[in-house]
Amino acid sequence: MSRKPPLVPSLSRRAVLVGGGTLLAAPALMRRSALAEGPWPTRSVRLIVPFAAGGTTDLLARLTAAKLSEEFGQQFVVENKPGAGGNIATDFVAKSEPDGYTFIVGTPGTHAINRFVYKAMPFDPVKDITPVIIIARVPNLFSVTPALPVTTVEEFIKLAKAKPGTLFYSTPGLGSTAHVATELFKSMTGVDIVHVPYKGSAPSLTDLVAGRVHLTIDNLPASQPFAESGAIRAIAVSTATRWPLLPKLPTIAEAGVPGYDAAAWFTIAAPAKTPKEIITRVNASVNAFIKSEDGTQRLRKLGAEPAGGSPEEMAANVAAETEKWGKVAQFAGIKPE
């Protein structure tokens, strides 16, 4: 059986000489390999996206990857691994070698929500994943297919109550912020609408445009181009207050559901035990980019607001969001599937 050539030739020669002793030390040596071989990175780095291309996670990943490639002189390559609400991609990263060459662009689903939606989690989002940074926060747009005869949230609620079980809402997948945001909406209004999960925002929104589904409460960066073209009708935002870039669009709370508040956030994370030096370098690079004038403008053009901060701050945010959405899942009656 062939073996992958070692990253450090001199280390490989020692392995041949000392035999079994080196095998025992291999895990620790592999964890240090990214640093031992010289300045990181010396080859391409993968950014794993847990949803299909074209959605918010994918857009933010590609924007960030381009900047990291420019700064570090190696390609940061975006790979889409959709499925199971992000669990397939996150499990892949959790089980990848912690050498600084594999990261995940995560969401509230992968970090905090999926544990309440899936019966069997193949990874522990706290123990197996190391926080790096929160890239951005975004609101969700409450959007309907143009064929639906409603222009306000109140009108949608009235129609849904008049025709229980006949309206369908789409999401990028089980455990996505769109999923729990809509279930929160259902629990607060009493409407009976049917969930249709997809493998990403792009196919979800495509079916909304076509009228195969009637509603989605999905991330602004993914939804906004469709809304601006008139392909879908955006009638509210999900945050507690109006979004600065869309001041004329009411919040769901203003439009008939007092107290409603839901938003999404997007992160970079790594396999547990990834060298701290690498985590620190990626964190510093992304922080500098998203807080620069150019980075801020690019994010806002996508409909996202720069976040940033330390890995510790990301960990605290994940813990708080896990508690929040756990209560929502219980309140809304979301059952693991």
Q: Output the pLDDT for position 221.
A: 86
- Clarify whether residues 273 and 134 are in a common domain: yes
- Clarify whether residues 49 and 123 are in a common domain: yes
- Clarify whether residues 185 and 215 are in a common domain: yes
Please check whether residue 217 lies inside any domain of the structure.
yes
- Clarify whether residues 181 and 110 are in a common domain: no
Please check whether residue 17 lies inside any domain of the structure.
no
**Is the Cα torsion angle 177, 320, 270, 38 positive or negative in sign?**
positive
Segments in the chain below pLDDT 50 = 1-37
Please check whether residue 225 lies inside any domain of the structure.
yes
Q: Output the pLDDT for position 334.
A: 75
Residue 183 sits in a domain whose CATH number is: 3.40.190.10
Q: Output the pLDDT for position 210.
A: 97
Q: Output the pLDDT for position 192.
A: 96
Q: Output the pLDDT for position 254.
A: 96
- Clarify whether residues 85 and 126 are in a common domain: yes
Please check whether residue 22 lies inside any domain of the structure.
no
Buried b (16+ CB within 10 A) or exposed e, 225-248: ebbeeebbbbbbbbbeebbeebee
- Clarify whether residues 148 and 132 are in a common domain: no
Number of domains in the chain: 2
Quick count: other Cβ atoms within 10 Å of Cβ 207? 17
Report the C-alpha gap between 226 and 309 in whole angstroms.
31
Q: Output the pLDDT for position 333.
A: 75
Whole-number Cα distances in Å, 222 to 30, 89, 217, 228, 305: 38, 20, 11, 11, 14
Report the C-alpha gap between 251 and 235 in whole angstroms.
9
Q: Output the pLDDT for position 13.
A: 40
Q: Output the pLDDT for position 38.
A: 57
Q: Output the pLDDT for position 200.
A: 86
